[in-house]
Amino acid sequence: MKTLLSCIILSIAFSCGKQDPSIQKDKLGGYWGIESVTSPYGKKIDFSINAVVDFIEVSEEKGIRTKVAPQFDGSFMNNGTAEKFNLKIEEDSLRLYYTTPFDSWKETVLLATDSVLKIINRDSKIYTYKKFRKFNFGE
C-alpha cells in the first residue's frame, strides 16, 4: 500500500510540467524557509514560522547546505555545520547526493524557481520551501 501511494504521488509530481534540471540548478542558491512537508500518505504539515532556514550555495557540480538562524538585524547565525552535496542530472531530474561520516542519501528536486523549491527525499516526503526574506525593520 505504501509503495502504491508513493508511486501515485511521484507520478503526479513528475507529470505536472517537467522543469529543465539545468534551470533548477541555477535557482537552488539562497536562503530557503520550509513551508510544508507532505508525507507519502498525503498528510501535510505546514510551517508558519521559521526559526532556522536552509542556506544553499552551489558552484559548478557541488554545493553546500547549512542551517542558519535569521537575526533581527538582517544577518544570519550559522550553527557551525554544513552538508556538502554533489549535483547530477539523471533521468531528466536534478539530484543532490549527500555524504557525511554517518550517512549517504539523495534528494530529487521537483521544482526550483525564484521563490519556491520542492524536494523529495528518500522517504518520499516532499519538502516545500519558499525563498526567505531577511528581516528588515528599517523600511
Per-residue pLDDT tens digits for 68-92: 999 988 889 998 889 999 999 999 9
> pLDDT tens digits for 84-120?
999 999 999 999 999 988 999 999 999 999 999 999 9
Rounded Cα distance between 89 and 119, Å, is 14
All cell numbers assigned to 111: 521544482
Answer for the pair 6, 104: CB distance below 8 angstroms, yes or no: no
pTM to 2 decimal places: 0.81
| Residue 137, helix vs strand vs coil | coil
Asked if residue 23 has pLDDT above 80, the reply is yes
Which residues, in sequence order, are CB contacts of 119 under 8 Å at separation 6+?
96, 107, 108, 109, 110, 126, 127, 129
- Comparing C-alpha atoms, which of 49, 17, 7, 3 is closest to residue 118? 17
What are the C-alpha distances in Å from 99 to residues 35, 47, 64, 104, 112? 25, 27, 11, 4, 22
Return the SS3 of 131: strand
